[in-house]
Amino acid sequence: MCTAYVYRMEWSHMAAVPLNVKVDADLKRQAEAVFAQVGLTTSAGVNIYLKKVVAVRGIPFELRAESEPQAVPARAAGPV
């Protein structure tokens, strides 16, 4: 079964402000392609995500650790 989500894009009377984030270049390219396929700009896609975060008062999907923790490399001995 496929569930479709429809978001109304309503612009408030508040001014839009820039949001600068650093992301992996390949991730950005892939996300832009997905947004384009569904008819959204990257800005609109990010705004939808942020509105959902506010609506659910949290991250809108489950976060969990990997099934087996990755080993953390030990620091080399020597001066810090």
Domain boundaries, the chain: 25-56
Q: How many CB atoms are closer than 10 A to CB 3?
A: 4
Q: What is the pTM of this model?
A: 0.64
- Residue 12's Cβ-side half-sphere holds a number of Cα atoms within 13 Å equal to 6
pLDDT by residue for the chain (80 residues), tens only, comes to 444 455 555 555 678 899 999 999 999 999 999 999 999 999 999 999 999 999 999 999 998 888 876 676 776 665 65
- pLDDT the model gives residue 58: 97
Short-list 11, 5, 3, 6, CA closest to 47: 11
User: Taking CA 58 as the corner, what is the angle to CA 57 and CA 64, rounded to the nearest 5 degrees?
Assistant: 160
Structure tokens at 66: 């990997």
- Name the residue with tokens 């408030």: 12
